[in-house]
A and B are shown apart, each in its own frame.
Chain A
Amino acid sequence: MTAATSRSTQPSRWTGRRLQAVVSYTLRSCIGRKRWLGCLLPCAGALLFGLLAHAIDEPGGEAFAAVAANGIFALVVPIVSLVIGDAVLGAEIRSGVFHFTWLSPTPFGLIVLGRWLGGCITALLTVVPACALAALVAGEPASAAAAAAGAAAGVTAYIAVFIAIGCVARRAAVWSLAFVFLVERLLGTALSGIAQWSPMWEARAVFLDLAPGVPDSLIRRGIPVGGGAMVRLALITVLALLVARRRLAHLALSGAAD
């Protein structure tokens, strides 16, 4: 090349532009057409759960709370988060494309943060409105904000967890499913100590705390609710992102054998 290319020397501008580049790349490249479909199908499932509330012979608020707690937060939110969380990093590492990002002076923390933000934006455009719509479909507009808030809190933590799993495990999708169905559903149901650190249970707790007309039977004792659940989800998010950042620094991107 003939002309010398100048590099940004202002740290804040430099960081902001790189973060923007990573987020933009995540939205354009990581979440492809198939991944969007993979997000939207479970979102349609959320709407079906909203319809299902009409079939439950209980007062409207209680019926929707039940389908949201046991269907939307137990299935739709984790599955959409898995699709997004795996796409933004794990899938790229496996496909051998990630080294274009890794081989840059961009700090690992910024890469992880950008990928997570990109994933969260995707979730905010898909599953969060779908959960609010499900409440409207169920005829419970008063629960829409609670469903959206619970979903938003849940996906932010879930995506961070699945990003971390993608950095740690080669078969990230399998391990992520095992985390949701074995650790959270099976062990989390039996052991409140595990539920306290489960995005599923904590997101559900956020929703149940905010939604009107929730029966006591749905509220689980022994785990934080409301603001406490939000704090717990924030902690899970930060811990998972730190694990991912640390793991990226030690990642061996061997690719295909020569």
Chain B
Amino acid sequence: MSRPGEAEDPAFARQATVQVDNASVWFGQKVALSELSCSFGGGVTGLLGPNGAGKTTLMRAITGLVPVNQGSVRVEGRNPRQDRSVHTRVALVPEDEAVPTGLSARQFVAYVADLHGIEDRGAPERALAQVSMLDVADRRVDGFSKGMRQRVKVAAALVTEPAVLVLDEPLNGADPVQRAALIELFRRLGSEGRTVIVSSHVLNEVERLADRIIVVIHGRLAAAGGQRAIRDAMNDRPRHVLVRTEDSRRLAAGLVGLGSVSGVRLEGHDVVVSTSRAAELALALPGLARSLSVRLEEVRPLDDSLESLFRELVR
């Protein structure tokens, strides 16, 4: 259930299965999560943030691997640190490459199934089939590539039939075909009503996966909402574009007159243009160059990385 009065807050799901309430986690002096509140419900939710943002810590707190020092985390109303029965409902695919040594993929998935008391002997086969690993099921997991390890870990999670599936950078190391198949699988799991939480630091990847996105930066909630809201936040932010030309002074003078330009800086043959309307600038720049008889040698955004978006979002 979403929290009273917060039904419209994009950080909170309407039918929440996972509730994070004012959660803080720290390791010694390092604060990994800081008073973070959000919730997750059925469907796929993307957890977006740069490296070191606290995504993994949040996922580990949701699954109970790390305790929250302050606040609370509840999965279907239960504390995952104290109630072992929660683990029949939640599964984690960790980002770490570490996998058990000396076991085949089939043995590994069967081991997880046995730990969960799964009686159906065919469950491991079906889980491996879902990630297209049946043909290599008898190969040792520790000999797999990173992408194959991720897939077998997904199979180990799926064999438990979790209501809440937490996936930490599950597409890392996967080739494009595997990526597409995994994305389709996660979307299908979400459409079945399961709570699927997927972390990534790649916006495009999250957009393909999730309908709802939660952005975490420096352990705090930076933004939440649908893909469009997050994209708009990115498009509206100030950007810096580098324009290289032989006659930089002339071009700079012309750029100052454009309404889409908020600042111009000269750096030798380069002009660094500040704009909050990048699309408009892109349309106006060729015409301006033609009118000034200036040849453009290079035009490239200086800060089009996700990290720059994150910086802007937390400003």
Contact = CB atoms under 8 A, between A and B. Distances in A.
Interface of A: 1, 3-8, 14, 17-18, 20-22, 24-25, 28-29, 32-33, 95-97, 99-108, 252-258
- Residue among B27, B101, B127, B156 with the most chain A CB within 10 A? B101
Given A1-B130, A97-B99, A103-B65, A258 B52 contact: yes
Nearest to B102: A29
Nearest to B156: A100
Contacts of A108: 84
A152 B32 CA distance: 46
Interface stretch (B6-14, B38-46, B117-125, B292-300): B117-125
Interface of B: 27, 32, 51-57, 60, 63-67, 84-85, 87-88, 90-92, 94-96, 98-103, 107-108, 111-112, 114-120, 123, 126-127, 130, 156, 158-161, 168, 199
A29 B100 contact: yes
Contacts of B100: 25, 29, 97, 100
A258 B66 CA distance: 13
A99 B91 CA distance: 11
Contacts of B92: 99, 103
B56 A257 contact: yes
24 contacts: A1-B126, A1-B127, A3-B120, A6-B120, A7-B88, A18-B114, A18-B115, A21-B111, A21-B115, A22-B115, A28-B102, A29-B100, A29-B101, A32-B101, A32-B102, A95-B98, A96-B96, A97-B98, A100-B100, A100-B111, A100-B156, A106-B116, A254-B66, A256-B56
A24 B127 CA distance: 21
A258 B54 contact: yes
B143 to A, nearest CB: 13
B53 A258 contact: yes
A8 B158 CA distance: 17
Given A1-B130, A1-B158, A28-B103, A255 B60 contact: yes
Given A105-B84, A252-B67, A257-B56, A5 B95 contact: no
Contacts, number: 124
A255 to B, nearest CB: 5
Contacts of B99: 97
Given A103-B87, A254-B60, A258-B54, A5 B120 contact: yes
Contacts of B98: 95-97
B156 A5 contact: no
Contacts of B112: 100, 104
Interface of B is mostly: mixed
- Residue among A1, A18, A28, A257 with the most chain B CB within 10 A? A1
Given A1-B161, A25-B111, 8 more contacts: A7-B117, A25-B100, A25-B103, A99-B94, A103-B63, A103-B65, A106-B116, A258-B199
A101 B113 CA distance: 11
A255 B32 CA distance: 13
A106 B67 CA distance: 19
A198 to B, nearest CB: 32
B65 A252 contact: yes
Nearest to B27: A254
Contacts of A99: 65, 92, 94
Contact of B118 (A5, A20, A252): A5
A21 B114 contact: yes
Contacts of A20: 114
A14 B87 CA distance: 15
A258 B57 CA distance: 7
A105 B60 contact: no
Closest 3 CB pairs of A and B: A258-B56, A21-B114, A104-B115
A105 to B, nearest CB: 5
A214 to B, nearest CB: 41
A105 B95 CA distance: 21
Contacts of B160: 5, 104
Given A18-B117, A21-B114, A5 B101 contact: no
Contacts of A6: 118-120
A170 to B, nearest CB: 13
Contacts of B32: 257
Contact of B115 (A96, A101, A254): A101
Contacts of B63: 103
A86 B107 CA distance: 23
Contacts of A258: 51-57, 95, 168, 199
A7 B98 CA distance: 27
Given A5-B159, A95-B98, A258-B95, A105 B85 contact: yes
